[in-house]
Chain A
């Protein structure tokens, strides 16, 4: 090709080279301010907590635990001190187990029914009103139902977790399946896919991004109600149970430790596990973000 050299040379490299240090500096400034914001987002709530603790302790004469008190109690508990008759590990383990069972039930049932409702317009029309209502029922409202069904036992807590986590999973999976393009289904059928293949290899992966966000919401619902469930249903162990029991011993720092652990675990699962999983799926498939 013989383009005139004067026109072809837009002197991009020198411009780029000159811009590079400027860009680098800008990026450094950006990452610095990013880090500052991240630190502040933790420091400011802690400072407010501290201020409230000091203020309340002085004005009302009750021992409102400061972050430091809570931290000291946490260390003591982690070293094996008992909280409401058991170690913190036992409480945590029991809570996680209850949550895992309830949540797995919700995920399994939610995915299967979501796939079916997305597949069949009739089933969707029959069931969706009920699912929508299910979503509106506050977690604590399941307590009488659970107690009638399972008595005062761990199974009531598990039931409450499953009941509150279910609706968002069903709703999102249904939406995901309905969002799978008709053309993809045609393509699959044209390539000899039977019903099972359509479900497992087209509808399920096709609805995965939606399904994962449903699971995220379901997780948050279930995790919240776990604590409430343990508080009300006397399960004798668990973070929620010991939180409510600790106050009888005036161990408010212990109760605060439970709150902190609940927050941290929730944060780890949501930010460390579910959100990255969802992002990775979406990026890997090159899909537009749905939210």
Chain B
């Protein structure tokens, strides 16, 4: 479904004139309806990788293939949930969810049906007419999820979608994501730096290290669903992954970690 072949991404830094290597020679393959978590420390190129699949950026070299075709631009077949909700503040919840459907020229009555289905799927029926600023962070992310699910994309690309939420809300939303995913099966690429989250959600956890190490581990999580986040199996798998991460070099200086893309600078890398 998603296929990365020898993908590298360089970012020129205009200020210093240096070139920053975000990704180097990444090979990754994600099967249909597979739930893959991309795990790694902050600023090691996880978001860059997701942006390449989403089509927001083009690889410097290598190929990104989705559903048998080269990724050239963003599109509704790859629904993205960002870390920030990025809802349109001037539209109501309903209108936000309907935005993509209008672009796809879905007929009005059908659009209405789809919108209300997905709004109630994420439990926001009573907020359909609210505007984003009236919602909590967790509710906004639910809307962000509903609006891409409404487009029935082949894949969901989620870029630390729950990273900015408090722990309790995050757990709730993880459960809801899994519940929704059981109903509407999709290929999911889920970027996170939270090991427990990765283990709880994923069929497979891929650990990304700073370039040039690229993918250092690819661990199937075979714990049967529905999972119990407090079970010994989940804890065991979490610890195993934490050990893998502990051996990775720390990606960047803290000041650089804030700036996406400006990840690792390697002499002669």
Which A residues lie at the B interface, using CB under 8 A? 181, 183-184, 186-194, 197, 201-202, 205-206, 208, 284-287
User: Taking CB as reference atom, which chain B residue is nearest A188?
Assistant: B99
User: Taking CB as reference atom, which chain A residue is nearest B56?
Assistant: A186
| Nearest Cβ on chain B to A189's Cβ, whole angstroms | 4
| Nearest Cβ on chain B to A83's Cβ, whole angstroms | 46
* Contact indicator B86/A192 (Cβ below 8 Å): no
* Contact indicator B74/A186 (Cβ below 8 Å): yes
Among all A-B residue pairs, the 5 with the closest Cβ atoms: A286-B133, A191-B100, A192-B103, A192-B76, A285-B89
B132 at the binding interface (Cβ < 8 Å): yes
Q: Mark B92-134, 1 if CB is under 8 A from A, else 0.
A: 0000000110011000000000000000000000000001111
* Contact indicator A192/B75 (Cβ below 8 Å): yes
Which B residues lie at the A interface, using CB under 8 A? 54, 56, 73-76, 78-80, 82, 84, 86, 88-90, 99-100, 103-104, 131-134, 147-148, 151
* Contact indicator A205/B90 (Cβ below 8 Å): yes
| Nearest Cβ on chain B to A184's Cβ, whole angstroms | 6
Contact with A201, one of B79, B84, B99 (Cβ below 8 angstroms): B99
Contact flag A191-B76 (CB < 8 Å), given A183-B82, A183-B84, A285-B90: yes
B151: chain A residues at CB < 8 Å are: 191-192
* Contact indicator A284/B131 (Cβ below 8 Å): yes
| Nearest Cβ on chain B to A190's Cβ, whole angstroms | 4
Name the prevailing secondary structure of the A interface residues.
Answer: helix
A184: chain B residues at CB < 8 Å are: 86, 88
* Contact indicator B88/A190 (Cβ below 8 Å): no
B79: chain A residues at CB < 8 Å are: 190-191
Among B79, B84, B103, which residue has the most Cβ atoms of chain A within 10 A? B103
A181: chain B residues at CB < 8 Å are: 86
Instruction: Add 20 more A-B contacts to A183-B84, A191-B148, A193-B103 (CB < 8 A).
Output: A184-B86, A184-B88, A186-B54, A187-B82, A187-B88, A189-B73, A189-B74, A190-B54, A190-B80, A191-B99, A191-B103, A192-B76, A193-B99, A197-B103, A206-B88, A284-B131, A285-B131, A286-B131, A286-B133, A287-B89
Per the bound structure, the CA–CA distance linking A48 and B93 in Å amounts to 54
B76: chain A residues at CB < 8 Å are: 190-192
| Nearest Cβ on chain A to B82's Cβ, whole angstroms | 6
Per the bound structure, the CA–CA distance linking A184 and B82 in Å amounts to 10
Contact with A192, one of B54, B82, B100, B134 (Cβ below 8 angstroms): B100
Per the bound structure, the CA–CA distance linking A209 and B76 in Å amounts to 29
Contact with B89, one of A188, A193, A194, A286 (Cβ below 8 angstroms): A286
User: Taking CB as reference atom, which chain B residue is nearest A184?
Assistant: B86
A202: chain B residues at CB < 8 Å are: 88
* Contact indicator B131/A187 (Cβ below 8 Å): no
* Contact indicator A187/B75 (Cβ below 8 Å): no
A197: chain B residues at CB < 8 Å are: 103
22 of the cross-chain contacts (CB-CB < 8 Å) are A183-B84, A184-B88, A186-B80, A186-B86, A187-B80, A187-B86, A188-B99, A190-B75, A190-B76, A190-B78, A191-B76, A191-B147, A191-B151, A192-B76, A192-B104, A193-B99, A194-B103, A197-B103, A284-B131, A285-B131, A286-B132, A287-B133
B132: chain A residues at CB < 8 Å are: 286
Per the bound structure, the CA–CA distance linking A184 and B74 in Å amounts to 13
User: Taking CB as reference atom, which chain A residue is nearest B95?
Assistant: A201
B88: chain A residues at CB < 8 Å are: 184, 187, 202, 205-206
Per the bound structure, the CA–CA distance linking A202 and B89 in Å amounts to 10
A205: chain B residues at CB < 8 Å are: 88, 90
| Nearest Cβ on chain A to B125's Cβ, whole angstroms | 21
| Nearest Cβ on chain B to A167's Cβ, whole angstroms | 26
B90: chain A residues at CB < 8 Å are: 205-206, 208, 284-285
User: Taking CB as reference atom, which chain B residue is nearest A194?
Assistant: B103
A286: chain B residues at CB < 8 Å are: 89, 131-134
| Nearest Cβ on chain B to A45's Cβ, whole angstroms | 39
| Nearest Cβ on chain B to A188's Cβ, whole angstroms | 7
A183: chain B residues at CB < 8 Å are: 82, 84, 86
Per the bound structure, the CA–CA distance linking A193 and B76 in Å amounts to 9
| Nearest Cβ on chain A to B266's Cβ, whole angstroms | 27
| Nearest Cβ on chain A to B58's Cβ, whole angstroms | 14
* Contact indicator A190/B74 (Cβ below 8 Å): yes
| Nearest Cβ on chain B to A51's Cβ, whole angstroms | 50
| Nearest Cβ on chain A to B157's Cβ, whole angstroms | 9
User: Taking CB as reference atom, which chain A residue is nearest B103?
Assistant: A192
| Nearest Cβ on chain A to B85's Cβ, whole angstroms | 9
Per the bound structure, the CA–CA distance linking A186 and B78 in Å amounts to 12
B104: chain A residues at CB < 8 Å are: 192
B80: chain A residues at CB < 8 Å are: 186-187, 190
User: Taking CB as reference atom, which chain B residue is nearest A183?
Assistant: B86
User: Taking CB as reference atom, which chain B residue is nearest A208?
Assistant: B90
Per the bound structure, the CA–CA distance linking A188 and B82 in Å amounts to 12
